Amino acid sequence: MERSRYSIGPVRNPQSQRAVIDAATTLLRTDGYAAFSIDAVARRAGASKPTIYRWWKHKAGLIHEIFDTESENLLSIEETGCLRDELHQLCRNLFTGWRDTASGMALRGLIAEAQQDPRALALLKDEIIPFRLQYPMRVLERAQKRGDIAPSRDLHAAARLLMTLNWHLLLTDSLEEDELLLASIDLVIDGLVVGTTTP
Amino acid sequence: MERSRYSIGPVRNPQSQRAVIDAATTLLRTDGYAAFSIDAVARRAGASKPTIYRWWKHKAGLIHEIFDTESENLLSIEETGCLRDELHQLCRNLFTGWRDTASGMALRGLIAEAQQDPRALALLKDEIIPFRLQYPMRVLERAQKRGDIAPSRDLHAAARLLMTLNWHLLLTDSLEEDELLLASIDLVIDGLVVGTTTP
């Protein structure tokens, strides 16, 4: 089910498939997106290009699989019941994960691809963004249920603002700008919370 | 002064220079960033690649000049004295400009380049972002001077949030999502304004 999102071939050879993913992950992590091509992945994995293209329709599809695999668990947080704390946790865990795994470079690559390949753009809009938005949404919905956010507030806009800020810091190689991040989260929270005091 | 940001050659031939910029602008506007290369620009302009590289050190430098030229005046607004209205104007004018000129595709291209070329990343961080941030900052500072925003509020975080949202909508080819934009601006404003009522 999950795998069919990336694959078009009927059956993959698990060993060669693993070799390709490993090679692609290492390439992204050590040399970055500039060095990333199907050619380079094929060379490093000892696989043929047609084989790779049989499993992944395009470069963005392969990067997407790496992104998903590498960013599993990055978004889990400890539920403390404090909106500010939970959002800080979410962003900090994400930034650590983006730095420590290939997921950050994979997302940078996907966004770059989306500026020139409509298939990469569709992946971003139809799969990655809706899936990722669920995490801040859950935090915000719990806070709304607790009464910390007024029922009338647009949680979707808030979740999107946080996501866009995270992406922006990633794309400008500025994940270390913690202060800006925290100030922005606080600003969004203040905008959400005001509705509860001024009806 | 302005020109030296893009050029390393001692003197440009104004006519050939214009031909290169026109060719590059047309390429970006009609075929998008996917079709954009120094090769393609040279062919269309009838110029040699060494000539182009003498004037612009790299692809990102040429795209940057197009971006600056095409986005002049996009950020001018009518001062109405209403924070919400002025920010809406700013974003709407920007979106219209990004759609109607090559500036939108130029910025998409620059951000994509920045994922693989440190020189493009430096352009973004050191020139484009600080320059662009001045526009929302001016709107916010006027509002703070009028007393619409508490003196303690972090205007920089607010300006950056708005910029990141604009970029996000551009990068995901979603400039038509006006509602999300307006909801987000309102959320940021509410976060800014709350400080004036709850000390």
Same domain membership, residue B136 and residue B55: no
The amino acid sitting at B108 is R
Encode pLDDT of B125-176 as tens digits: 999 999 999 999 999 999 999 999 988 888 999 999 999 999 999 999 999 8
A8, pLDDT greater than 60: no
**How large is the C-alpha radius of gyration of chain B?**
19
Where a domain ends, among B38, B68, B98? B68
Q: Taking CB atoms and an 8 Å limit, are B191 and A187 in contact across chains?
A: yes
Encode pLDDT of A59-114 as tens digits: 999 999 999 999 887 888 999 999 999 999 999 999 999 999 999 999 999 999 99
Q: Taking CB atoms and an 8 Å limit, are A165 and B164 in contact across chains?
A: yes
Cβ(A23)–Cβ(A44) below 8 Å: yes
B45, pLDDT greater than 50: yes
Same domain membership, residue B91 and residue B58: no
Nearest CA in chain A to B193: A191
Looking up residue A51, the CATH number of its domain turns out to be 1.10.10.60
Encode pLDDT of A26-48 as tens digits: 999 999 998 899 999 999 999 99
Average pLDDT for residues B115-119, to the nearest whole number? Answer: 95
CA distances from B3 to A56, B68, B89, B106, B176 (A): 45, 11, 29, 18, 33
Structure token pair of residue B139: 């709107």
Average pLDDT for residues B56-71, to the nearest whole number? Answer: 92
Residues in B closer than 8 angstroms to A125, CB to CB, are 172-174
> What is the least distance, in Å, from the CA of A69 to any CA of chain B?
21
For residue A27, what are the domain limits? Answer: 3-68
Same domain membership, residue A153 and residue A125: yes
> What is the least distance, in Å, from the CA of A13 to any CA of chain B?
32
Alpha helices by DSSP H, listed for B7-146, are: 14-31, 38-45, 49-55, 59-70, 83-100, 103-114, 118-123, 129-146
pLDDT of residue B6: 57
Average pLDDT for residues B77-105, to the nearest whole number? Answer: 94
Same domain membership, residue A144 and residue A81: yes
When CB atoms are compared, the residue of A160, A165, A172 closest to B124 is A172
pLDDT of residue B2: 45
Same domain membership, residue A99 and residue A26: no
pLDDT of residue B112: 97
Torsion of CA B47, B43, B58, A107, to 10 degrees: 170
Where a domain ends, among A68, A95, A112? A68
Same domain membership, residue A137 and residue A44: no
Residues in A closer than 8 angstroms to B195, CB to CB, are 190
Alpha helices by DSSP H, listed for A32-154, are: 38-45, 49-55, 59-70, 83-100, 103-114, 118-123, 129-146
Same domain membership, residue A162 and residue A123: yes
Looking up residue B176, the CATH number of its domain turns out to be 1.10.357.10
Same domain membership, residue B76 and residue B49: no
Same domain membership, residue B97 and residue B182: yes
CA distances from B18 to A84, B67, B176 (A): 52, 15, 32
Number of compact structural domains in chain B: 2
Average pLDDT score over chain B: 88
Per-residue confidence band for B19, with pLDDT thresholds at 50, 70 and 90: very high
Same domain membership, residue A33 and residue A80: no
Where a domain ends, among A68, A84, A105? A68
Cβ(A68)–Cβ(A87) below 8 Å: no
Q: Taking CB atoms and an 8 Å limit, are B194 and A189 in contact across chains?
A: no
Residues in A closer than 8 angstroms to B154, CB to CB, are 183, 186-187
Same domain membership, residue B184 and residue B93: yes
Q: Taking CB atoms and an 8 Å limit, are A116 and B158 in contact across chains?
A: no
Encode pLDDT of B169-179 as tens digits: 999 999 988 88
> What is the least distance, in Å, from the CA of B186 to any CA of chain A?
8
Encode pLDDT of A122-175 as tens digits: 999 999 999 999 999 999 999 999 999 988 888 999 999 999 999 999 999 999
Cβ-based contacts under 8 A for chains A and B: 141
Residues in A closer than 8 angstroms to B198, CB to CB, are 194, 197
Structure token pair of residue B88: 């809406």
Same domain membership, residue B129 and residue B112: yes
**Cα B19 to the center of its chain, rounded Å:** 23
Structure token pair of residue B135: 């526009």
